[in-house]
Structures are given as C-alpha cells and as structure tokens.
Amino acid sequence: MSQTFETKAAEGKCRQMKEAIGAFSLEGEPVSCERYGSGHINDTFLLVCDVNGKEKKYILQRINNEIFQDVEGLMKNVAGVTSYLREVIRKNHGDCDRETLNLVPTKMEKCYYEDSIHSFWRVYQFVSGASTYDKVRKPEDFYQSAKAFGHFQRLLAGYPVEELTETIPNFHNTPVRFETFKQAVQEDSCKRAESCQEEIAFVLRHEKELGAVQELLESKQMPYRVTHNDTKLNNIMLDDKTGEAICVIDLDTIMPGASVFDYGDSIRFGANTAAEDEVDLSKVSLSLPLFETYTKGFLEGCEGSLTAQEMEMLPMGAKLMTLECGMRFLTDYLQGDTYFKIHREGHNLDRCRCQFALVADMEKKWEEMKKIVERWKEHAAV
Ligand code: ADP
Ligand code: GN1
Ligand code: MG
C-alpha cells in the first residue's frame, strides 16, 4: 500500500477505508487510494489496483448518509437506472463500459457496503479517457453537456417512475426550500443573520416567484419526468480525444422532477462567467452566448419531447435553480455549514452572493433569454 494510503491511516480514517476496499470484488491488489474530484456531498477517492503490473482504476465513494438517509433506496435507484441504461446503450450498439456508470459488486454480491461504523461505500468502474470540468473551457464542452443531459432525460423516459425512491424528499420543491430558509433565519442558531441581511432581503423580494414551477407540476400542467436533478458541468464526463460527452455521472438525485430544472441547474453553473463561489461579483454574469449554446444543445438532446409550456418555462427554470441554490447556500451558512462541504470561512455565503448576483444579471437579460429560447424552440418542434 502506498504512502498516501498510510497517511490516511494517520488521520484515523484508513481502517474504514481498508475495510471497505476489502469488501468489494476488485481485480488485482489495491496500491493507492486518494481523494478525487470536487463534489460538495460525497467523499470520492481514486482507487488504483495493480493487476500483474498493470494499473486498474476504480472510483470509491463514501456516500453521505446524513444527507441521503435511505441509502438502500438510493442504491436501488442507481443500480436500476444504470442497468436500464446499459440495456438501452447495448441496443443502440454503444459502449456500455463508458457511456454509463457501472457499479462494482461486493464479494457478497451487493451493490454497496456498510462498514462496521455504519458508513456506506460503493465502487464504480473508472471511466477512462474522459474528464470532468468545473468550468466551461470552450462553448463546445457546454453544448456537448447540454445534448447529453437532454438525451439522458429522453433515454430514461421509459424508466418505471414508480420504482424510483425519492432520495431527498422535496429536493427541488422551491417553496419548501423557502420555508426551511425562513426557519433558519428565525432560529439564527449561529448568530450569522446580521452578517447577511442584504441576502435575506434578496430572497424575500423574490418570494412570489418561487412557486412558479412547483405550482405547474402540482396542478399537472407540467409533467413530472425522470430527471437527474444535479446537472452541473462536472457531472458529465467528456471524452479526452473527441471532446464528446460520453457519460452522465452523479446519479444520487435521479427522481421524478421538472425538465426545466435540469436545464436550469446547468445554466446556473455553466453559463456563469465566474466560478460558483467567485468573491469578485463584478466577474459574475450570465453569458448569453453560452445560454444560447446550452439551449440549442438541450433542446436537440430532448429530441422534441418537451411540451410547448416546458420550453416557455426554460428561462424561469434557470432563474429558479439559481435562486434556489443561492437560498440553499444561505440556509446552510445560517445553520452553521452542515450540508455543503466548505473550504474556507464564509464559503457558503460567498457561494450564495455569487448565485444572487447571477439572478440579478438574469433579470437584466430576461427579454434576451426569452428571445433565445423562442428562436431555438422552433428548431426543436417535432
Ligand atoms: P459528488 O456527489 O460529491 O459530486 P460525484 O459522483 O459527482 O460526487 O463524483 C465526484 C467526481 O469524481 C466527479 O466530478 C468526477 O470527476 C469523478 N468521478 C465520479 N465517478 C467517476 C467514474 N466512474 N469514473 C471517473 N471519474 C469519476
Ligand atoms: C451539490 O454533489 P454535487 O457537488 O454534484 C448538491 C446540488 C447543488 C450543488 C451546488 C445532493 O452537488 O444540489 O446544486 O452541490 N447536491 C446535493 O454546487 O445536494
Ligand atoms: Mg458531482
């Protein structure tokens, strides 16, 4: 076992990790296991094994079971969706090993492992020759991710919705998120409300808009679809050689939801001219060219499956996902940073400010956003 692995031992976490690694049906001998990626929720590690002198890589993840309380249900979703996708990809003569995540079973043939201190682990085959990005390098990346997320929704259209567990109840129910936010402000358990009065006021000013999508879903004017619900650019793997989006990852939040939110969360993250946590707010804006690129790709990927009303609500999906995410960062800041991983003091407040600056810029560009969607809508009609 490498130095890295032993360093982890010093941190007192190695035993659990070793126990978990030993539980899975891996090829070869484990040689190293290091933190990997930039997700805010799970603990992700790159696990390397030696198979007769050749490297075999895996992704090992400790599932955040404070956030995902029904790990069994979550893993049933992931196993169900990935085996469904494998079948669809096989029928389309695709590459099942690269175009979907593939779970590695435990030696007991389960799709996850619960260790002796009740942490939950899973292993995926490593998707090789592909990478994820925290920022759009070039518009083509964003276009590729748009097509892939649109297509993903299309591929799962036939998946039996009733078999899906709601892994985080009310995940994108913005009015419910608002109630939680108000409660956090009222309780002010960390005495931080004073430091974010402007941000609190920003949310309150937008109260009336927060239910725009939820109301349509509940009144059945908008369909619930099988959605990904976390469509950040870094949840798509792009092929290193061709630049094509090959695999949608991070399947923990696949649930029935609104298509406009899958679209909107991608815009929030990828069409921002700054990073999600940029502190220099003058750098934050909605790039209309990237907004257009994504709109085109997403509509193409959906292959004409969206209703006229869903298409009309796309700009609102983008605005609400940005507002909701900012509100969630603010709530977590008020509650003492217990949900999102933070890497510096005030990180969640920085993230929140950045989201709200983006919302404000969307409001300035609202008419242009609507025109862009209008333009691409024509091309998307079946
Ligand atoms: P989180 O829920 O914390 O965001 P993810 O499942 O998105 O965790 O994984 C974090 C990162 O690990 C991804 O952004 C990606 O770079 C990498 N990753 C995850 N799964 C794989 C895989 N099967 N093959 C290669 N890299 C992966
Ligand atoms: C979390 O796991 P990750 O980093 O892909 C969060 C999303 C937020 C996002 C903000 C399960 O996503 O909802 O939009 O952070 N995932 C969960 O970056 O809450
Ligand atoms: Mg992720």
279 C-alpha to center of ligand 3: Å? 22
The residues pairing with 138 across neighbouring beta strands, listed in sequence order, are none
Is any atom of ligand 1 closer than 6 Å to the C-beta of 256?
no
Pocket test for ligand 1, best of 237, 265, 276, 343 (most atoms within 8 A of CB): 237
Task: Report pLDDT for 248.
Answer: 97
User: Could you tell me the sign of the dihedral formed by the alpha carbons of 147, 227, 44, 97, in that order?
Assistant: negative
117 C-alpha to center of ligand 1: Å? 24
Pocket test for ligand 1, best of 235, 250, 341 (most atoms within 8 A of CB): 250
Rounded to two decimals, the pTM is 0.94
For each of the chain's 382 residues, which pLDDT tens digit applies? 444 555 544 555 788 999 999 999 999 999 999 999 988 999 999 999 999 999 999 999 999 999 999 999 999 999 999 999 999 999 999 999 999 999 999 999 999 999 999 999 999 999 999 999 999 999 999 999 999 999 999 999 899 988 999 999 999 999 999 999 999 999 999 999 999 999 999 999 999 999 999 999 999 999 999 999 999 999 999 999 999 999 999 999 999 999 999 999 999 999 999 999 999 999 999 999 999 999 999 999 999 999 999 999 999 999 999 999 999 999 999 999 999 999 999 999 999 999 999 999 999 999 999 999 999 987 775 5
Residue 88 near residue 155, CB atoms below 8 Å: yes
Distance, in Å, from the CA atom of 262 to the CA atom of 244, rounded to the nearest integer, reads 19
The ligand with the least distance to the CA atom of 134 is 1
Distance, in Å, from the CA atom of 312 to the CA atom of 332, rounded to the nearest integer, reads 32
CA angle centred on 187, ends 181 and 188, rounded to 5°: 85
Task: Report pLDDT for 138.
Answer: 95
Write the CB contacts of 335 (distance below 8 Å, at least 6 apart in sequence).
184, 189, 190
List all residues whose CB is within 6 A of at least one atom of ligand 2: 39-41, 230, 232, 235, 250, 252-253, 265, 276, 325
Is any atom of ligand 1 closer than 6 Å to the C-beta of 269?
no
> What distances in angstroms separate CA 238 from CA 44, 87, 95, 129, 246, one per listed residue?
19, 21, 14, 9, 6
Task: Report pLDDT for 381.
Answer: 58
Q: Which residue's CA lies nearest to atom 23 of ligand 1?
A: 126
Task: Report pLDDT for 161.
Answer: 87
Nearest partner of 260 among 221, 206, 204, judged by Cα:
221
Distance, in Å, from the CA atom of 251 to the CA atom of 230, rounded to the nearest integer, reads 8
Helix (H, G, I), strand (E, B) or coil at 196: helix
Write the CB contacts of 63 (distance below 8 Å, at least 6 apart in sequence).
42, 71, 74, 112, 120, 121, 122, 252
